[in-house]
Amino acid sequence: MLNEKVHKLLNEQINKEFYSAYLYLDFSNYFKAQGLDGFANWYKIQAQEERDHAMLFYTYLQNENMPVTLEAIGKPDKEITCHMDVLKAGLEHEIYVTSLINDILYNTFPMRAMELKRRAWRSLHVWKNRKVAEVTLSRDDFREVRGTKAEAEDVVEIPRSVAGNQIALFFYQIPDRTKEIRVSIRTRCAYDATILAKQFGGGGHVRAAGCTVKGSMASAKRLVRRAVKEMLQKR
């Protein structure tokens, strides 16, 4: 169930996307009048893309059993006197629409969760073979953000999203457990996540498992990486 604020923002975004289509059709009209058919056609294509965006939001709300409210679409209001005006207005509008998407994102996820993900992205390490990727959140990361384990629950999806990834690792250190490192493991193909987890007293499922390793972050990574390399060599 979407919260009320996000539902409202998504409804508004449908309107903004349709307005974007109107705006780009207006740009297309301008270039058509200037005899620049290629530019005119390009903006017609952009207008269709914006309509597609609107319908994606529309369909998402319907799939979530949330009511869709269709408001009046505003008339394009950009003053166009030369070719450069179109390019500048288009850039300005895209920046504006991006800010609207950011608003939806920030209202969907708590800021602490967003900051933890940002830090995790910065730590992303992809092995040379591209099969393994890992991210890390330290005790200091959690303390500085005042984040919780629950707010970092899906951080493991970051390394998992890397193209070609087959083993994703998320190393993290809960502030009140300074002498142990938690490890979340996700796998694809024939790799069994539980085989890795059980080596450190953990468990889970074939594709999703976890464990706790005693010691420092550096020693935990060394041990888990060694186990991963051994698993890779057996295939």
pLDDT tens profile 192-210: 999 999 999 999 999 999 9
Name all domains of the chain by residue range, CATH numbers in brackets.
4-108 (1.20.1260.10), 112-233 (3.10.310.30)
Quick one: pLDDT band at residue 53, thresholds 50, 70, 90?
A: very high
Q: Summarize pLDDT for 97-138 with one digit per residue, the tens.
A: 999 988 887 777 778 888 999 999 999 999 999 999 999 999
Mean pLDDT comparison of 25-34, 142-151, 171-180, highest-scoring range: 25-34
10-42 pLDDT per residue, tens: 999 999 999 999 999 999 999 999 999 999 999
Q: Are 209 and 203 in contact (CB under 8 A)?
A: yes
pLDDT of residue 1: 61
**Distance between CA atoms of residues 47 and 24, nearest Å:** 5
- Placement of tokens 């060394």 in the chain: 222
